[in-house]
Amino acid sequence: MSKSAFIKAYLKNPSRTGSVMPSSERLGKAFAAQVERLSADRIVELGPGTGAITQHIAETRPHLVEIDHELCRLLSDRFPGCAIENRCAVDFLEEYRETCGLIVSIPLINNPERDNIIAAIRKAYARGIISWCMIFTYGPASPLKEVGFEKSTKIKSVMLNLPPAHIWLYE
């Protein structure tokens, strides 16, 4: 079911989906391994899509923010214990006021909203609401270098993801 929901979302708006395939099990597990060692009272995941990462961190009850209506319905069915908002990540970050660990599951490399998303993350970080941030990218460079995080580390490359993904941690 999640693959068909992903395909529908992709066909509806490929540039907003940002990938040709849902994220892999290996990518989700790699994120979960890092979340286990990081501390945050609240975790927010932007763009969870079909929940490939969410399923591995669901016990933390992350707050999910997904712009696609169909994918929100899928997420509601799969993760009934999570708060789910059907809205734009930029709008959410501008209004959010709690300190959190932030997972960005929105591929930025070819996203038409890339600059707006990065600006919203920069502002949220400057307001002190982001204690750490993890993101994956399909390119080799740091996707959030212009945000101004104190520390950035490429923590893992997941080659068995289509396309291969690189996970970055910002603290």
Residues 15-58: tens digit of each pLDDT: 444 454 566 788 999 999 999 999 899 999 999 999 999 999 99
For residues 166 and 137, is the Cβ–Cβ distance under 8 A? yes
The CATH class for the domain spanning 2-170 reads alpha beta
pLDDT tens figures, 130-163: 999 999 999 889 999 999 999 999 999 999 887 8
For residues 97 and 119, is the Cβ–Cβ distance under 8 A? no
CA distances from 129 to 28, 90, 95, 122, 124 (A): 24, 14, 11, 10, 6
* Domain ranges (residues) in the chain: 2-170
pLDDT, residue 21, reads 54
pLDDT, residue 46, reads 98
| Token duo for residue 13 | 């708006």
Alpha-carbon gap, residue 96 to 98, rounded angstroms: 6
Neighbours of 55 (CB within 10 A): 16
Q: Which of 78-82, 105-109, 128-132 has the lowest mean pLDDT?
A: 105-109
